[in-house]
A and B are shown apart, each in its own frame.
Chain A
């Protein structure tokens, strides 16, 4: 059972990780924790629900379309709520994201109703056996996509001009401005990218966990914890943080108590922070 629990932990962990990566991106560029990242994932799930299930567009096309739709919505959020706060201090930005989260999940509930929507499985959810272990294809895809995105994003950020502008802006906004970098554009781009990531996370969650306005509520704080656990500096860190949290939850439920499942995970998180105050992969402050 131990190995099976590990695998299950890996599966949910990769979803946490994807959301955590969104946190890291926005943190590094904007200096703010987007507590509405869970809702961004929810928007992604609804986007693909509308495009694939309601409009009937085949999944291969629906996926990228949904990502674009989510990015557009993300851009809209950025203009209305983040841009005005560019010069504000971090605590105010954080509270704004909390307000945005409340706004979005209730807006979607009013529009789409409170009932969950089923979503057809994309990657297959019947498990196949490897020895004594049951592996669900969906979960492998989550992991693969998660790490794949980390690699792709890394290449994008280091290799392309746009990516380099984003990194420069994140490192030192004033210097970037002086260098002639389009700071506004880079900031927007970072947000759009993070929205796309969140959307992908949501789309991976949709077939597993149904689509409902409330689906981001748990993901928000967990994504935050995961990003910080990973050190807030690297996307790989966030991914690893996500997996660690997922495994902690699984094993905690299995061997200690299912009722205290998330408490155990958070307790270990707490201990880690006490002993390594800058997170698992963070550098010294």
Chain B
């Protein structure tokens, strides 16, 4: 009986304090910190991406704070988990915007979650930058409060498909994609681009984002006798596919993909199977040959977190840099409209992921590189625009 009443009391206290806590106003004081919000998948299958997003933003915030903050105020990051789930992303965004009263939000990772949660920032008129979501619809929805730093699927796919057809002169191309918004988005663009050039892909196979065994799909791909396999997937499954492709006898097929594959872990997980893998990227993760800004970023990231950053970390970093500059430009009262307009006006900004211009839709499209995995697990630039 005691146990029961105790548990009941605990639940009631939690319910009451949730609602009570929500109505608290922040304490008044001088030099109050500026709150920046971020939403991402901090648990579940995409947790590693949510994790790097936070790290990238945090690095930028630390750098701003070391330089004295913005308008004399310290920056503070509040992170929320959306479990890759659009409904939960809406809840998380609501908390950041209405409970924590953040100035702006950077997030989220999964396009469908961003499409859902950007309604909240639009309604509340809070600037939002998504560093990683790649679905073109995000910036075409007529929402003036959302900006995107990732190169959209269209751009990434165009770059890799054009490279395959024009530079490598390939004709028989197979596509494999993870059956979520990221993979399906990339697949749609790839198929469209190929068909526009009069080429029909020899195989188009989907697999569950949580699946571990793609051999069934690879066998079907093998039937089509492809020269190249475009995989629109994250590096973890990319590594699995690369290994399984080898096992199924597809060693001569050129493996290609988009930004999701770029990560030092790819080689760590798959070893030799990914040597020679090509992907489109704006961020070149090699200190030696990177731009000065990128080089500094890589070094700082490595020093702080003990690991090499991938493109997601870099884009999150750039997002925070741009947001920070916009906040500076907006003046000490940090008016939301002023911040938004300052972001929209970003031109020729030197970021870790290239020179950034925000266009009229809120996109930051820039030059794409094609990078490849070298024999020792590093990266080299295989192609860049003139």
Q: Do A and B bind each other?
A: yes
Is residue A113 within 8 Å, beta carbon to beta carbon, of the partner chain?
yes
Q: A residues 99-115 with Cβ under 8 Å of B?
A: 106, 109, 113-115
Is residue B360 within 8 Å, beta carbon to beta carbon, of the partner chain?
no
Is residue A127 within 8 Å, beta carbon to beta carbon, of the partner chain?
yes
B47: chain A residues at CB < 8 Å are 109, 114, 213-214
Decide: A116 near B43, CB < 8 A? Known: A218-B210, A253-B216, A261-B216: no
**Nearest Cβ on chain B to A54's Cβ, whole angstroms:** 15
Closest residue on chain B to residue A114 by CB atoms: B47
Which of A114, A214, A215, A261 sits near B208, CB closer than 8 Å? A261
Query: Which one of B50, B222, B265 has the highest number of Cβ atoms from chain A below 10 Å of its Cβ?
Result: B265
A210 touches B269 (CB 8 A): yes
Size of interface on A: residues with Cβ below 8 Å to B: 39
B43: chain A residues at CB < 8 Å are 106, 109, 114
B215: chain A residues at CB < 8 Å are 8, 11, 250
Is residue A273 within 8 Å, beta carbon to beta carbon, of the partner chain?
no
Decide: A254 near B219, CB < 8 A? Known: A115-B265, A118-B269: yes
A254: chain B residues at CB < 8 Å are 216, 219-220
B247 touches A210 (CB 8 A): no
B247 touches A125 (CB 8 A): yes
- Stretch from B24-32, B137-145, B235-243, B345-353 that touches the partner: B235-243
B45 touches A210 (CB 8 A): no
B210: chain A residues at CB < 8 Å are 214, 217-218
Is residue B212 within 8 Å, beta carbon to beta carbon, of the partner chain?
yes
**Nearest Cβ on chain A to B81's Cβ, whole angstroms:** 10
A250 touches B45 (CB 8 A): no
A215 touches B212 (CB 8 A): yes
Residues of A within 8 A of B (CB): 1, 4-5, 8-9, 11-12, 106, 109, 113-116, 118, 125-127, 134, 136, 205, 208-210, 212-215, 217-218, 249-254, 258-259, 261-262
- 6 intermolecular pairs with C-beta atoms under 8 Å apart: A11-B213, A134-B249, A209-B240, A210-B236, A251-B216, A253-B216
Pairs A-B, 9 closest by C-beta atoms = A114-B47, A253-B216, A259-B206, A209-B212, A114-B48, A258-B205, A8-B215, A250-B216, A115-B48
